[in-house]
Protein backbone atom coordinates (compact mmCIF):
# COMPACT_ATOMS: atom_id res chain seq x y z
CA UNK A 1 0.00 0.00 0.00
CA UNK A 2 2.76 2.47 0.87
CA UNK A 3 4.27 2.14 -2.56
CA UNK A 4 0.94 2.90 -4.22
CA UNK A 5 0.51 6.11 -2.21
CA UNK A 6 4.05 7.15 -3.09
CA UNK A 7 3.45 6.45 -6.80
CA UNK A 8 0.13 8.32 -6.85
CA UNK A 9 1.66 11.35 -5.14
CA UNK A 10 4.55 11.39 -7.60
CA UNK A 11 2.17 11.06 -10.56
CA UNK A 12 0.12 14.03 -9.36
CA UNK A 13 3.08 16.26 -8.45
CA UNK A 14 2.99 18.09 -11.79
CA UNK A 15 -0.66 19.13 -11.61
CA UNK A 16 -1.26 19.88 -7.92
CA UNK A 17 0.20 22.56 -5.68
CA UNK A 18 1.82 21.75 -2.33
CA UNK A 19 -1.33 22.13 -0.23
CA UNK A 20 -3.32 20.00 -2.67
CA UNK A 21 -0.60 17.35 -2.59
CA UNK A 22 -0.66 17.33 1.20
CA UNK A 23 -4.44 16.90 1.21
CA UNK A 24 -4.18 14.12 -1.38
CA UNK A 25 -1.67 12.31 0.80
CA UNK A 26 -3.89 12.67 3.88
CA UNK A 27 -6.94 11.32 2.02
CA UNK A 28 -5.01 8.41 0.52
CA UNK A 29 -3.53 7.43 3.86
CA UNK A 30 -6.91 7.71 5.57
CA UNK A 31 -8.83 5.74 2.95
CA UNK A 32 -6.19 3.13 2.34
CA UNK A 33 -5.38 2.69 6.03
CA UNK A 34 -8.72 0.96 6.36
CA UNK A 35 -6.96 -2.05 4.85
CA UNK A 36 -5.49 -4.73 7.06
CA UNK A 37 -2.31 -4.38 9.10
CA UNK A 38 -0.72 -6.98 6.83
CA UNK A 39 -0.52 -4.30 4.14
CA UNK A 40 1.78 -2.31 6.42
CA UNK A 41 3.89 -5.37 7.08
CA UNK A 42 4.47 -5.67 3.32
CA UNK A 43 5.66 -2.06 3.04
CA UNK A 44 9.45 -1.94 3.10
CA UNK A 45 11.50 0.41 5.23
CA UNK A 46 12.62 2.20 2.07
CA UNK A 47 8.97 2.67 1.04
CA UNK A 48 8.25 4.30 4.40
CA UNK A 49 11.36 6.46 4.03
CA UNK A 50 10.39 7.50 0.49
CA UNK A 51 6.86 8.42 1.63
CA UNK A 52 8.28 10.45 4.52
CA UNK A 53 10.74 12.31 2.29
CA UNK A 54 8.02 12.99 -0.29
CA UNK A 55 5.85 14.47 2.45
CA UNK A 56 8.74 16.63 3.67
CA UNK A 57 9.35 17.83 0.11
CA UNK A 58 5.67 18.75 -0.19
CA UNK A 59 5.88 20.61 3.12
CA UNK A 60 8.60 22.77 1.58
CA UNK A 61 11.75 21.36 3.18
CA UNK A 62 14.94 22.20 1.31
CA UNK A 63 16.85 19.59 -0.66
CA UNK A 64 19.66 19.87 1.88
CA UNK A 65 17.28 19.09 4.75
CA UNK A 66 15.79 16.15 2.86
CA UNK A 67 19.29 14.77 2.18
CA UNK A 68 20.11 15.16 5.89
CA UNK A 69 16.94 13.29 6.88
CA UNK A 70 17.67 10.55 4.32
CA UNK A 71 21.25 10.08 5.52
CA UNK A 72 20.36 9.87 9.22
CA UNK A 73 17.32 7.67 8.77
CA UNK A 74 19.00 5.28 6.31
CA UNK A 75 21.93 4.80 8.71
CA UNK A 76 19.52 4.04 11.54
CA UNK A 77 17.43 1.63 9.45
CA UNK A 78 20.55 -0.18 8.22
CA UNK A 79 21.92 -0.48 11.74
CA UNK A 80 18.72 -1.58 13.50
CA UNK A 81 17.68 -3.69 10.48
CA UNK A 82 14.10 -4.56 11.40
CA UNK A 83 10.76 -3.31 9.98
CA UNK A 84 10.01 0.32 10.87
CA UNK A 85 6.71 -0.56 12.52
CA UNK A 86 8.56 -2.78 15.02
CA UNK A 87 11.21 -0.23 16.06
CA UNK A 88 10.81 0.86 19.68
CA UNK A 89 11.93 3.94 21.58
CA UNK A 90 14.46 1.83 23.46
CA UNK A 91 15.98 0.62 20.18
CA UNK A 92 16.38 4.22 19.04
CA UNK A 93 17.98 5.24 22.34
CA UNK A 94 20.43 2.36 22.10
CA UNK A 95 21.20 3.30 18.48
CA UNK A 96 21.97 6.91 19.46
CA UNK A 97 24.22 5.87 22.35
CA UNK A 98 26.13 3.46 20.11
CA UNK A 99 26.34 6.04 17.32
CA UNK A 100 27.77 8.61 19.73
CA UNK A 101 30.34 6.13 21.05
CA UNK A 102 31.44 4.80 17.66
CA UNK A 103 31.63 8.21 15.95
CA UNK A 104 32.83 10.18 18.99
CA UNK A 105 30.05 12.76 18.46
CA UNK A 106 29.04 15.58 20.72
CA UNK A 107 25.66 16.10 22.34
CA UNK A 108 24.59 18.66 19.74
CA UNK A 109 25.21 16.25 16.86
CA UNK A 110 23.32 13.46 18.60
CA UNK A 111 20.45 15.84 19.38
CA UNK A 112 20.25 16.84 15.70
CA UNK A 113 20.09 13.18 14.69
CA UNK A 114 17.50 12.50 17.39
CA UNK A 115 15.32 15.31 16.07
CA UNK A 116 15.46 13.99 12.51
CA UNK A 117 14.54 10.50 13.74
CA UNK A 118 11.69 11.96 15.83
CA UNK A 119 10.35 13.68 12.74
CA UNK A 120 10.33 10.34 10.91
CA UNK A 121 8.49 8.51 13.68
Sequence ranges of the domains in the chain: 1-60, 62-121
Q: What is each CA distance from 5 to 22, 47, 76, in whole angstroms? A: 12, 10, 24
**Residue 42 and residue 86 in contact, taking contact as beta carbons nearer than 8 Å:** no
Q: Where is average pLDDT lowest: 7-21, 26-40, 69-83?
A: 26-40
Q: What Cα–Cα distance (Å) separates residue 100 from each residue in 71, 78, 87, 90, 112?
A: 16, 16, 19, 15, 12
pLDDT in tens, 51-107: 999 999 989 999 999 999 999 999 999 999 999 988 999 999 999 999 999 999 999
| pLDDT above 90: percentage of residues in the chain | 59
pLDDT band of residue 34 (cuts 50, 70, 90) is low
Amino acid sequence: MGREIYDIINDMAEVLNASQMQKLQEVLVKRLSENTVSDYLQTTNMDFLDMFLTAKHLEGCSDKTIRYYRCNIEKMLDTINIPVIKITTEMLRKYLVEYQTINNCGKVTIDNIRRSLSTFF
